[in-house]
Amino acid sequence: MALWNRDWKLLLASLVGFLLIAILAIYEDIFMLIFGFTFADLLGRAKSKWHIASGIFGMAVMFLIVFLATTNSLALVDSQVLVPMMIIQLVFPVLIYFVEKSKNLQNELADVNTQLVQQEERQRIARDLHDTIGHTLTMIKVKTELTTKLIDRDPSSVKQELNDILATTRTALKQVRELVSDMNFVSLQTELLHCQQLLQSANITTTIHNHCPKIVLSSVEETMLALCVREATTNMLKHSQAQNCQMQIHCRNTQYTIAIQDDGIGLEQKGLGNGMNSMKERMRVLQGYALFEGDTKTGTKVLFSIPIQDGKEPLT
């Protein structure tokens, strides 16, 4: 019933339920009152505090009517059981109300976090546009202005400048495609297998060990991790000079972790333009972190770790 609209209809259903239970308790068995927990739970899911208060009052009236009608036949032992049960039932709707309110707040917080992640990703894309395509378009503008000046003074150089403009335009088109690709959902499992194929085609023996394949990640988390794995793989291909690579996925202490280890030359020989800041930023958006360590003896180890969010249960 989708709990109807959680309005006066829910209150009415609870009051009718309490009335039926009172009748059954008087004419059948007084311990039928235990079924009041069902309607107390229903009452606690109402949106209005006034409806909950009215329902609790109706519940108290139910208990009063039953006790007055069964005073003569009610044993002392029965009253010792029923009185605590009555108190618990009266408090139960309030407890359910706060539990439901807490769940709603958690859902709202999750929605806000998702919006923040999306906003962070928009800002990252804006920076990428400025740093890559903006720079490329500036080059095209400068080259075009230069070509305009050379048409009259040095026609022989115009062809070379036009070829440069064409090459730069192709670069810009490639950058746009890469950015669009980054904005789409990327499967982590697919990206891991793709990176394994790339590394092995470069004669880097690669093994993948997934120790928690049943953990469910959100699409944003999965895409961010996949892009970080892609960036780390690109760096390895460009800089590591490695022969072996291991990728391991672990779930420890509420953390989902991907560790990538190679036996290359380590970080010391690598330049600064290897995308480390981009990977760290993606992990920070997910409230996680990225670590990089290594030297010429042990190679490079890259670690991506994000918290496993509440409510993400392993698949059965």
Determine the pLDDT at residue 180: 67
Higher pLDDT, 234 or 127: 234
307 and 214 together in one domain: yes
Q: Is the pTM of the predicted complex or chain greater than 0.85? A: no
Determine the pLDDT at residue 296: 81
Q: Which among 16, 86, 87, 9 has a CA at the least distance from the CA of 47? A: 9
Domain final position from 72, 107, 142? 107
Residues in CB range of 255: below 8 A, 6 or more apart: 288, 305, 306, 307, 308
What is the total count of domains within the chain? Answer: 2
303 and 198 together in one domain: yes
Range 205-232 average pLDDT: 88
Read off the pLDDT of residues 111-140 as tens digits, 9 standing for 90 and up: 887 788 777 777 777 776 766 677 677 778
Query: Is 273 exposed, middle or buried (CB count within 10 Å of its CB: 0-12, 13-18, 19+)?
Result: exposed
Read off the pLDDT of residues 235-285 as tens digits, 9 standing for 90 and up: 888 888 899 999 999 998 889 999 999 998 887 545 545 578 888 888 988
Is there a domain that residue 36 lies in? Answer: yes
Residue 294 has pLDDT above 80, yes or no: yes
d(CA 81, CA 31): 9
Q: Structural domain of residue 98, as residue ranges?
A: 8-107
- Identify the bridge partners of residue 295 per DSSP, sorted by sequence position: 299
190 and 300 together in one domain: yes
Q: Is 278 left (phi over 0), alpha (psi -120 to 50) or beta?
A: alpha
Residue 26 has pLDDT above 90, yes or no: no
Specify the length of the chain in residues.
Answer: 316
* Band of residue 295 on the pLDDT scale cut at 50, 70, 90: confident
**Which amino acid would we find at residue 17?**
G
